[in-house]
Structure 1
Amino acid sequence: MPIQSYVALLRAVNVGGTGKLPMTELKAMAGELGLANVRTYIASGNLVFDSQLPEAEIKAALEARLARHAGKPLGVIIRSADEIRDVLAANPFPEAPGNRSVAIFLDAAPPADALEHARHAGGERMRLGRREIYVHYPQGQGQSKLIIPAAKTGTARNMNTVAKLVEMADAEGAPSARSR
């Protein structure tokens, strides 16, 4: 398999005082696993890197290494540079401020009825993506009472962060599948 750029999104890292993991340690762990050109973005578990390994192997290796470090399982969502670019391009709320719209990244496609099971909506707009659930929080995520059961095992990143991860994946590292 050729080298390509990937993004890893860790779940529940440095949020609300739980899951503390300095990004320097995360970067070192990724290097120990043979991931190349490793970069991090803000202290919420965003990792950009290059690898020849397939997504499933990267995910398994990172989750195992993080579990050894933390003493408990930590979820990791992997996307190729092309996929993260597609997530940004598919944002169904491009007119909304980037800090008020998120993509909730999932390992698999959300169930077709996922949004029907959402509770406590108060003006939020939601749309299903390929392996994401998009949400626009007009009053901000911190003010929302919205619960989406299908998103429980996912991890959210606002569109500003997604855009920065696309920029990082495009700026350095391996060519994407589209550029070959």
Structure 2
Amino acid sequence: MARVVALLRGINVGGRHKVPMADLRAVVESIGLTEIQTYIQSGNVVATDPQECTTDSLRQLLETAIQDEFGFPVPVVMVSAGRFRDILADCPWPAVEDPRCVHAIFYPAAIPTPMLQQALDLVRSDDTDQVSADHDVVWLHTPAGLSTSRMAERLMRLTLPDGRRGTARNLRSLREITARL
């Protein structure tokens, strides 16, 4: 049985797209996942997949079930437990003083290199932020905070060719999610 992490984008933020965690756990269970745990109200789910489906098929099932239950679309990035641990292990700034200033932006698919490079080139002059990119994860260190970062703003608006965007989690949240795996 495989453990998976579902990262929901844009729920319970600013009073929009309210999704109670108990209701979310019920929806996750309805698609066949078990041993479901949520972490904080922003849409972090850890669960067991007894059928060992692909992360893409689980993502599609969960997005459809959420749309059916709550009446609005919620983009989901689904990550296997092994991949999630590897991503955390690859954090370029694991010893930063404030883990809330380091974020991993998870994209639902590989980011085309030219697209990522173009986004990064537009904000490289911001010398206070640092960035490190993998094929589907971008690490961002924003010492002044995520909300004031031009680089974070640009990367969060980065839209993949299929229209999907990434979702960010700070290092503290990533560690808490990993502890539930």
State the TM-score, normalized to the length of structure 1.
0.86
* Equivalent position of 2:5 in the other structure: 7
| Kept after mapping to 2: 8 A contact 1:110/1:133 | no
State the TM-score, normalized to the length of structure 2.
0.85
Equivalent of residue 26 in structure 1, options 24, 27, 30: 24
Counterpart of 2:146, as a letter, is Q
Q: Deviations over 1:112-169 (max 9, x none)?
A: 2414424456321111123101100110112223312436701000011111111101
Counterpart of 1:33, as a letter, is I
Q: Give the match's secondary structure for 1:95.
A: coil
Q: Deviations over 1:16-40 (max 9, x none)?
A: 2221101111001111111110110
Q: Partners in 2 of 1:110 and 1:127 — Cα distance?
A: 13
Please, which runs of 5 or more residues in structure 1 have no aligned partner?
170-180
* Equivalent position of 1:68 in the other structure: 68
- Equivalent pairs, count: 167
Q: Which has the higher contact order (CA 8 A, sep 6+)?
A: 1
* Equivalent position of 1:150 in the other structure: 158
| Kept after mapping to 2: 8 A contact 1:137/1:144 | yes
Please, which runs of 5 or more residues in structure 2 have no aligned partner?
none
1:163 maps to 2:175:
yes
* Equivalent position of 1:134 in the other structure: 139
Equivalent of residue 119 in structure 2, options 97, 117, 120: 117
Q: Partners in 2 of 1:17 and 1:133 — Cα distance?
A: 27
Q: Partners in 2 of 1:120 and 1:14 — Cα distance?
A: 29
* Equivalent position of 1:16 in the other structure: 14
* Equivalent position of 2:93 in the other structure: 93
Q: Deviations over 1:81-133 (max 9, x none)?
A: 11110111011122322110000001112222414424456321111123101
* Equivalent position of 2:57 in the other structure: 57
Q: Superposition RMSD on alpha carbons, in Å?
A: 1.6
Counterpart of 2:137, as a letter, is E
Q: Partners in 2 of 1:89 and 1:15 — Cα distance?
A: 28
Q: Partners in 1 of 2:76 and 2:17 — Cα distance?
A: 13
| Kept after mapping to 2: 8 A contact 1:66/1:74 | yes
Shift of 1:69: 2.3
